[in-house]
Amino acid sequence: MSKQFCGLDFGTSNSTVGIPVGNGFAMCPLEGESVTLPSAVFFDYEEHKVRFGREGIGAYIEGTEGRLLRALKSVLGSNLIEETTLIERKRVAMRDIIGMFMRHLKSLVERKVGRPVEHVVLGRPVRFVDDDDAADARAEAELIAIARAQGFAHVEMQFEPVAAALAYEQSLECEELALIVDLGGGTSDFAIARLSPERARLNDRSGDILGRSGVHIGGTDFDRRLSINHVMPMLGYDALIGPKKLPMPSHFYHDLATWHRIPMLYTPQNINYLRSILHQVDHPEMIEQLIAVFAERKGHRIAAEVEAAKIALSEQPEVALRVPLEPPREKILHRGDLDHAVYDDGMRIVHAIDMCLSAAGIAATKIQSVFLTGGSTAVPEIRRQILAHLPNARPVTGDLFGSVGLGLAMDAARKFS
Ligand SMILES: Nc1ncnc2c1ncn2[C@@H]1O[C@H](COP(=O)(O)OP(=O)(O)OP(=O)(O)O)[C@@H](O)[C@H]1O
Ligand SMILES: [Mg+2]
């Protein structure tokens, strides 16, 4: 019997799994009909069970007592991987929470294909960690170890933009020199590839991948910047403490605006500290709000509203951002607010594209097509900056969420047959 394999894209925001079907490949349904599973784990304290994806996020938003974790991929390669978080009086390691999520994905695929799946190609960003090769290597080793612990006996890796290139190549009728742009929730990843229907039949494609690069910037960073600019001031970000008018400790606000750091904030120590400074700050009512956000674990609810506003602003000129405080607040945001929030990150993304071009030894003017995938390629200002940098390239918008998982399955077919 042939080996059963899959390609698994464990994303910062969404995960997908590509599987072989007949002579081709398809995305595996992961939650109902949906082929994406939001990378979210919710420990439901009321029913004492673990819920994943939309179901978990939904339970949290509805107010079910419990603990939500998101953007877990951002923990790989950082010291947070060693951290534990308190789940119903038990300390659970972040590593084990990622493992639960991966085991869930594995069981969904096995249910779909009807047999055990022990061979997997895992996607990885070009850089898990910027400017630190040792931490980057550690992140990959952690991900492999987690996959093995869930029963994937044979684990191979592929770069996410290379996988996206393989998926894009399926749609081509003649050869082109393409820049693959994959902007996700956590990272931006690039590859320059020579693609064609003839080359697609070759087994070894290493000669066709001319360069790659990556930077740890993604949609969760855009969320953070919008949140710092427009929500955190409501919670005392600019408040001053005592007669010396010292600034509020900014880490509370940065962590509250950063998806993967939110759960670490909900400690009695933090709440006690905020209570202790209440009578010294110039805006105690804002700090009261902050205390309530911590005590009621509303951090992800705020982040989700900010993310929804970002997505709406990518499609329309203005949106009313709802901030779930008590009483609820509303703030009108304009497209220009989003453009402003992401502008600097856009420049860093373009700089990473330049690194990719120089790794390949190719001028920007020589790129014939730019394949855009990943949810964050929908942000207009980011798209504008990228396309302005590649004057002769034809933009191609791919399936924003499926290309990587599909390409990983194609790569798995090569690696395991
Ligand atoms: N229409 C949209 N406009 C703007 N941003 C969007 C849109 N749709 C999704 N996003 C953003 O895209 C990001 C998720 O994209 P994607 O699912 O490709 O990431 P991922 O693969 O999980 O992350 P990574 O590849 O970085 O690990 C989120 O930050 C989300 O808010
Ligand atoms: Mg991705």
- The answer to whether the CB of 123 is under 6 A from ligand 1 is no
Say if residues 303 and 259 touch (Cβ distance below 8 Å): yes
Residues ≥6 apart with Cβ < 8 Å to 218: 12, 13, 183, 184, 185, 186, 187, 188, 374, 376
The model's pLDDT over 247-276, given as tens digits with 9 standing for 90+, comes to: 999 999 999 999 999 988 999 999 999 999
Please report whether residue 212 resides in a domain: no
The model's pLDDT over 131-174, given as tens digits with 9 standing for 90+, comes to: 999 999 999 999 999 999 999 999 999 999 999 999 999 999 99
The model's pLDDT over 285-333, given as tens digits with 9 standing for 90+, comes to: 999 999 999 999 999 999 999 999 999 999 999 999 999 999 999 999 9
Q: Which atom of ligand 1 is nearest to the CA of 187?
A: 26
Q: State residue 180's pLDDT score.
A: 98
| CA-wise closest residue to 376 among 254, 165, 222, 230 | 222
| CB-based contacts of 264-273 (< 8 A; 24+ apart in sequence) | 264/80, 264/83, 264/85, 265/294, 265/299, 266/294, 266/297, 266/299, 270/294, 271/295
Instruction: Identify the burial level of 179 via C-beta atoms within 10 angstroms of its C-beta, where 0-12 means exposed, 13-18 middle and 19 or more buried.
Output: buried
Helix (H) or strand (E) holding 414: helix 403-416
Mean pLDDT of the chain: 97
Please report whether residue 210 resides in a domain: no
Distance 397 CA to ligand 2 centre (A): 15
| Range 205-210 average pLDDT | 95
Q: How many domains does the chain have?
A: 1
Calpha distance 169→236 (Å, rounded): 50
| CA-wise closest residue to 40 among 25, 30, 52, 27 | 52
Going by the DSSP 8-state scheme, the letter that residue 63 receives in this structure is: T
Q: State residue 88's pLDDT score.
A: 87
Calpha distance 286→291 (Å, rounded): 9
CA atoms within 13 A on the CB side of 10: 31
> Which residue type is seen at 193?
A
Q: Which atom of ligand 1 is nearest to the CA of 219?
A: 29
| Range 337-353 average pLDDT | 98
Angle at 416 between CA 415 and CA 417, to 5 degrees: 105
| Range 115-143 average pLDDT | 97
> Is 100's pLDDT higher than 90?
yes
- The answer to whether the CB of 11 is under 6 A from ligand 1 is yes
Q: State residue 370's pLDDT score.
A: 98
CATH number at residue 44: 3.30.420.40
Please report whether residue 353 resides in a domain: no
Query: Using 50, 70 and 90 to split pLDDT, how confident is the model at 84?
Result: confident
| Range 188-194 average pLDDT | 98
Q: Which atom of ligand 1 is nearest to the CA of 307?
A: 31
Structure tokens at 218: 């993604």
Q: Which atom of ligand 1 is nearest to the CA of 220?
A: 29
Residue nearest to atom 8 of ligand 1 (CA): 375
Q: Which ligand is nearest to the CA of 380?
A: 1
- The answer to whether the CB of 161 is under 6 A from ligand 1 is no
Residue 387: count other Cβ atoms within 10 Å of its Cβ.
Answer: 14
| Range 77-89 average pLDDT | 87
The model's pLDDT over 382-407, given as tens digits with 9 standing for 90+, comes to: 999 999 999 999 999 989 999 999 99
Structure tokens at 53: 């994806």
Distance 375 CA to ligand 1 centre (A): 3
Q: Which residues surround ligand 2, an ion (CB under 5 A)?
A: 11, 184
- Distance, first Cα to last Cα, the chain: 12
> Is 108's pLDDT higher than 70?
yes
Residue nearest to atom 9 of ligand 1 (CA): 375
Complete DSSP assignment for 85-137: EEETTEEEEHHHHHHHHHHHHHHHHHHHHTS---EEEEEE-S-SSTT-HHHHH
Distance 251 CA to ligand 2 centre (A): 27
Structural domain range at position 80: 5-174+399-416
- The answer to whether the CB of 38 is under 6 A from ligand 1 is no
Q: State residue 417's pLDDT score.
A: 86
Per-residue burial over 88-116, b if 16 or more Cβ lie within 10 Å, else e, is: eeeebebbebbbbbbbbbbebbbebbeee
Please report whether residue 80 resides in a domain: yes
- The answer to whether the CB of 74 is under 6 A from ligand 1 is no
> Is 1's pLDDT higher than 80?
no
Q: State residue 89's pLDDT score.
A: 86
Instruction: Identify the burial level of 143 via C-beta atoms within 10 angstroms of its C-beta, where 0-12 means exposed, 13-18 middle and 19 or more buried.
Output: buried
Q: State residue 82's pLDDT score.
A: 86
Residue nearest to atom 29 of ligand 1 (CA): 219
The model's pLDDT over 215-251, given as tens digits with 9 standing for 90+, comes to: 999 999 999 999 999 999 999 999 999 999 999 999 9
pLDDT > 90 in the chain, percent: 95
| CA-wise closest residue to 71 among 231, 187, 226 | 187
pLDDT > 70 in the chain, percent: 100
> Is 60's pLDDT higher than 80?
yes
- The answer to whether the CB of 314 is under 6 A from ligand 1 is yes
Please report whether residue 112 resides in a domain: yes
Q: Which ligand is nearest to the CA of 342?
A: 1
Calpha distance 360→38 (Å, rounded): 34
Please report whether residue 136 resides in a domain: yes
